[in-house]
Amino acid sequence: MLATRTLLPAAMLAALLFVLALAGSAGAATKNGITPLGPKAGGSVPTGKALTFRMRVADPGSGVFVHVCKSKRKDREGLICDDPILGPAKKRNGVFQVKQRFFDFPEFWLNNPGRYYWQAYRIECTGGSDCKQEGPVTRFRVR
């Protein structure tokens, strides 16, 4: 009986910590109401094909746009690189999507395998000078 009283609280504590860990990791992918859905973090996309970026956005404000870059370094506003900019994203079935048109020339980024980063942002001015509310940076690979 004593062993049951000791093990039960320990098992409940372990279960609670597990649930909190899952909730923390799920919420970490959302920033400023933007949750990237695809391409997924750490995922890969084929070389030489058009690509659709998908994200869930709580409030699109005045538009949702996407940056794709070779570097994850952010500027003073919290955005990665200046170009290319994709968008505006359109809402379909509750998810915002923007498709990168494919260009068949060697310098185009979808023709060059490697690691890339993407970041969605929305335009929402709430009294401050920075109207671009950026989402999290997501890494993916063109293979």
Both 87 and 113 in one domain: the answer is yes
Rg from Cα positions in the chain: 20
Instruction: Indicate the pLDDT class of residue 4, thresholds 50, 70 and 90.
Output: low
Q: Considering only CA atoms, which of 45, 143, 47 is closest in space to residue 103?
A: 47
Separation between Cα atoms, residue 79 and residue 27, nearest integer Å? 20
Verify that 128 and 73 share a domain, yes or no.
yes
Do 23 and 45 belong together in one domain? no
DSSP state at residue 78:
S
Predicted confidence band at 25 (pLDDT cuts at 50, 70, 90)? very low
**Separation between Cα atoms, residue 57 and residue 43, nearest integer Å:** 21
Angle value at C-alpha 68, between 26 and 56, nearest 5 degrees: 35
User: Mean pLDDT, the chain, as a whole number?
Assistant: 84
Q: Does the pTM exceed 0.85?
A: no
Residue that the structure tokens 């372990």 belong to: 14
Specify whether 19 is located in the same domain as 39: no
Domain span including residue 21: 1-30
Total number of residues shown for the chain:
143
Q: Which amino acid is at 35?
A: T
23: which residues sit within 8 A by CB, 6+ positions away?
none
What's the whole-number mean pLDDT along residues 88-102?
A: 95
CATH of the domain at 116: 2.60.40.10
- Give percent of the chain with pLDDT exceeding 70: 80
pLDDT at 20: 39
Q: Where residue 5 falls among pLDDT bands split at 50, 70, 90?
A: low
Q: What is the distance between the alpha carbons of residues 80 and 139, in angstroms, rounded to a whole number? A: 12
Q: Say whether both 9 and 36 belong to one domain.
A: no
How many domains is the chain built from? 2
